A = this chain, B = another copy of it.
Amino acid sequence: MNREGLTRMTRVEVVVAGSDSHPVREVFRSTGATGFTSLSGVSGLGHSGYHQGRLIFNEQDALELLITVVPDEQLDALLAGLKPILDSSPGVMFVSETFVSRPEYFS
C-alpha cells in the first residue's frame, strides 16, 4: 500500500434522523455501494435553522451520520436515490473526494 496504490473515490455522508437511516441504507445498497459506516451519538441544529426560524433538526433528535464510498461512476445513481429522502425529511448531505487502498472493496 504505497501512495500510488491509492484510488480516488467519492465519499458521501448523510446526516438524518435515526428513523430515516434505514431508507438511506437501502439507497446505498440498491445503487451499488458495497458498505457503509454509521455513527451514532450525533446531534445537530440547522441548517437553515438559524436564519429562517425553522429548525431542520431539533437538538434533541437522535441523528445518525452515515458514510459510504463509491466509484465516481456510481455517484449520480446514489444522489438520485437519496434525493426523495432528503426532499421529504430533514437531512444534510456532504460529498467529498477521498482515496482508498482497496478499490475492489467499493465496487
- The quantity of this chain's copies bound in the complex is 3
The interface residues of chain A, by DSSP majority, are classed as: mixed
Query: Which chain B positions have C-beta within 8 A of A1?
Result: 79-80, 82-83, 86
Contact residue among B37, B56, B69 (Cβ-Cβ distance under 8 Å from A65): B37
The residues in A between 15 and 35 inclusive whose CB is less than 8 angstroms from any CB of B are 15, 25, 29, 33-35
Contact flags A64-107 to B (C-beta < 8 A → 1, else 0): 01000100000110011011001000001111111111101110
Q: Which residues of A29-53 are within 8 A (CB) of B? A: 29, 33-51
- A interface residues, how many (CB within 8 angstroms): 54
Q: What 15 additional pairs, Cβ within 8 angstroms, besides A35-B45, A48-B104, A95-B99? A: A1-B80, A5-B79, A25-B45, A33-B46, A34-B49, A35-B44, A38-B43, A39-B41, A39-B65, A40-B43, A41-B41, A48-B105, A56-B105, A69-B92, A94-B100
